[in-house]
Chains A and B, each alone.
Chain A
Amino acid sequence: MVGFGFAVGGMMVLALPAIAVAAVSKLSGVDTQAILYFVPLLLAGLVPYIVPLGFLLAVVVTYGRLAADNEWTAAIMSGRNPVSLLLPGFVVAVGASLSTMWLVSEVLPEIRRTQSEYQVAALRSTLTNLGPGRTELRLGKFYIAAGFRDGADFMNALIYLPGRRGESAKTVLADRVHFQVGDRFMDVHLTNPRIVRGQMDVRGGDPIIRLDLDELQSESTKSFSSMRMRYQKSSDLVRNLVRGDFDPDPARKRLVVFELHERCATSSTCLMFLLLGVPTGLLLRKGTQLSALATAVGYALLYYLLSMRLSKQLALGQFLSPGVGAWAIWAVGAVFGLWLMRRAMRR
């Protein structure tokens, strides 16, 4: 358990740089606090992969240590059934699998939806929380570039206003640009504007242009469709399946059945990794722990690559039924693990 916690915690630590870079990339220009709130949402999406991986590494290290210190040999020589030594690992695997199953089926779809909504809201906040040093801002096709900043205002600015409601796009130069941002609209106050392209009436002093933030953002943000599988809970999918909602669309029905089975297979990865990790630890005990860990990561990489790529092709290409396709790679991994286990036990 300690090893499992250590491995999962270690991987969360290792994952943080990539997640932080991903968060900064998805929320470009957003303030630090918003990014920090977004990081746990991204991290949650990786839990179904980090937990089995952590379990695999913990199993390799634990059983490798048992073998290296000859404790495994001592236990066998005392008459214990070697399979009984796998029991603690099995109990942890079942617990991890059940937790992951709940997470993948019921919690993660909601988290993914929250992620997408948060992204939209956070990007909008770039306008209200704009740092004093930034001289460029864009939201959708709207763009402003300033020579320098004076507090919250943009000085010697070039502004591009996208076309909307039949009006053509405008490019404007202004000595000063001030933003007033509301919930839905943004007022752009221009001082001494000069039109570069497009039409704008500047005779009545310094104009104020009102922009619809929803319109601007819809141009750049990928809209998420709540009908996509990743945003739907397993309980909802099962209910709709039983009710016959997918019967008119056989292709979608196959996809739903595949998705349900795939979530179960992903959640059960710990059990398959137990079969792979124990013999790997036993067989590689003479090497360094690092090489055993690297081998374990190699297994995991190969498994996830094949399960993500091959399973879907086999199931949706109608080579196999959706259920069998989702479990195919898991089964291959389990069989390979059993073969390795037999080899390790014999040695």
Chain B
Amino acid sequence: MRARRLRLAGRLDRYVGSLFVTSYATAFLLVVGLFLILDMASNLDEYLEPWPDGSRASNLLIAWYYLLDVPFLFLQVAPFVTLVAGLFTVSKLLKLNEVVAMLGAGVSSWRLLAPVFLLGALSGVLMFGLREATSTLVASQRDALRHVLENKSTDLVYSNLWVRDLNGSAVRLEEFRPSATVAAASGATQEAPPRVRGLEAILRSPSHWSSIQAVSAAFLPRGSEMGWKLEGGLHEEVAGSQSTRAVEWLDGFEFTPDLAVTYWRARENPLELSFREVRELSRRNPDDVVYQTLSQYHLTFPLANLVLLLVGIPLLMRRDRSRATEGITTGAILCVFYFAADFVLRNLGLQGSLDPLFAAWLPVLFFGSLGLVLYDSMKS
């Protein structure tokens, strides 16, 4: 009997695809719901503690924080959601004997499951896009809210920030207050322009070092652009003439309030930086292995959506319908191994103990190869 060629996006593909999408939506609710519970178990107690002035965080503030946190929780576990959805899709097909029927009709198991793998790959792409979108639209507000809840104050201030440049210059911000938009998300009342208290810039030029110190600075329009207007600004040469002069604007080091917030996020939780942010930080500090590893990791982690499906689904397909639970268990265990390997190697890369490329790509390449072998050995 000649194997049948199915029409792309035909009825069968739409049926399997719709099963996967439904399972994905349910798995999303299940996994993200679980994560919300675990996150609340770890942190909600602390957020509910009374503030020094006797007040407490409002329900709306906490609810808004968790709502903004959902995309980030999802990004941590998206490959697992894809795997759970894939396993439940195949499990349902096995349970209703639809796999046997399709194999009997001459449709290979690879062709049958093609929509699942395509949608898994698509979820990886969407995951990458979601990370970039959330870092632009949501991250600052979410982090501001978390900062307020953890520090129990609506005075949104990021302390002791350092911003670096490629030529070795650096700026220290003793206290940085971001924009009013970000502050408003946390319920804070804040002066409109981003402000700094205690600014110290160490500027490097080809011939000498100099420093600028200021009591405070505000990010204000300067002609057609924006700049940091200094209050009590003093420019001093390091060594050499050591001459000192008053300055009104910060020159010689360009940075925006958004970049300062990125540096704060890199310090607090570097794993949540977007690819764009990591590339910018890496450009400013090319020798730092943390950013090198993260930039590779942001490419490989979305691939885990496909890798976990390649590993998990063939193991389930090997079982008959009465032993589907065994297949799901074996797939889950292999995924634990994948995650453990990914975690250990990524941290070795972040530490500089392993080359960033190896650290990020080894798990994907190893498990991806294993997945391809398992996929190829699926009964068809």
Contact = CB atoms under 8 A, between A and B. Distances in A.
Nearest to B31: A14
Contacts of A45: 41-42
Contacts of B164: 136, 145
A88 interface: no
A134 B59 CA distance: 41
B30 interface: yes
Contacts of A293: 26, 30
B37 interface: yes
A14 B211 contact: no
A230 B325 CA distance: 39
Contact of A196 (B209, B325, B332): B209
A74 interface: no
A222 to B, nearest CB: 9
A171 B200 contact: yes
Contacts of A13: 332, 335-336, 339
B98 to A, nearest CB: 14
A196 B344 contact: no
A158 B168 contact: yes
B352 A14 contact: no
Contact of B44 (A143, A173, A308): A308
24 contacts: A6-B329, A13-B335, A16-B336, A16-B343, A17-B77, A21-B269, A31-B351, A32-B353, A53-B34, A133-B352, A136-B164, A143-B160, A145-B285, A158-B170, A160-B172, A171-B202, A173-B209, A288-B23, A288-B92, A300-B33, A300-B37, A309-B44, A309-B62, A312-B48
Contact of A131 (B31, B40, B339, B353): B353
Most buried by A among B33, B209, B335: B33
Interface in A2-20: 6, 10-11, 13-18, 20
B26 A294 contact: yes
Interface residues of A, number: 65
A291 B325 CA distance: 17
Interface string B342-370: 01100110111100100000000000000
Nearest to A310: B59
Contacts of B299: none
A36 B344 contact: yes
Contact of B288 (A31, A46, A134, A312): A134
A143 B202 CA distance: 13
Closest 3 CB pairs of A and B: A133-B352, A133-B289, A131-B352
B271 A194 contact: no
A49 interface: yes
A163 to B, nearest CB: 12
Interface stretch (A22-30, A89-97, A180-188, A236-244): A22-30
Contacts of B268: 25, 28
Contact of B351 (A32, A50, A148, A312): A32
Contacts of A308: 40, 44-45, 48
B40 to A, nearest CB: 6
Interface string A104-137: 0000000000000000000000000001111110
Contacts of B65: none
A41 to B, nearest CB: 12
A288 B29 CA distance: 14
A209 interface: no
Given A46-B42, A158-B202, 13 more contacts: A17-B343, A18-B39, A21-B269, A24-B350, A32-B348, A42-B42, A49-B41, A133-B287, A133-B289, A294-B26, A297-B37, A301-B33, A304-B37
A interface secondary structure, majority: helix
Interface in A58-109: none
B351 A11 contact: no
Contact of B30 (A35, A148, A294, A304): A294
Interface residues of B, number: 67
A14 B287 contact: no
A228 B200 CA distance: 39
A10, A21, A31, A45: most-surrounded residue (chain B CB, <10 A) = A21
Nearest to B270: A28
Given A13-B336, A134-B351, A21 B76 contact: yes
Nearest to B50: A316
Interface string B73-100: 1001100100000001000100000000
Interface string B311-351: 00000000000000100010010011001100110011011
A13 B335 CA distance: 9
A305 B92 CA distance: 33
B77 A14 contact: yes
B162 interface: yes
Interface string B153-193: 00000001010100010101000000000000000000000
A85 to B, nearest CB: 22
A308 B348 CA distance: 37
Nearest to A31: B351
A312 B117 CA distance: 47
Interface string A272-301: 000000000000000011110110011011
A232 interface: no
A261 interface: no
A46 B41 CA distance: 7
B27 interface: yes
Contacts of B9: none
A126 to B, nearest CB: 10
A196 B339 contact: no
A217 interface: no
Contacts of A194: 209, 238-239
Contacts of A48: 41
A210 B239 CA distance: 24
Nearest to B41: A49
A141 B329 CA distance: 48
A340 to B, nearest CB: 19
A132 B325 CA distance: 45
A290 B26 contact: yes
B329 to A, nearest CB: 7
A254 interface: no
A232 to B, nearest CB: 14
Q: Kindly name the residue among A17, A136, A197 whose own CB sees the greatest number of chain B CB atoms within 10 A.
A: A17
B44 A197 contact: no
Contacts of A35: 347
B80 A17 contact: yes
A156 interface: yes
B102 interface: no
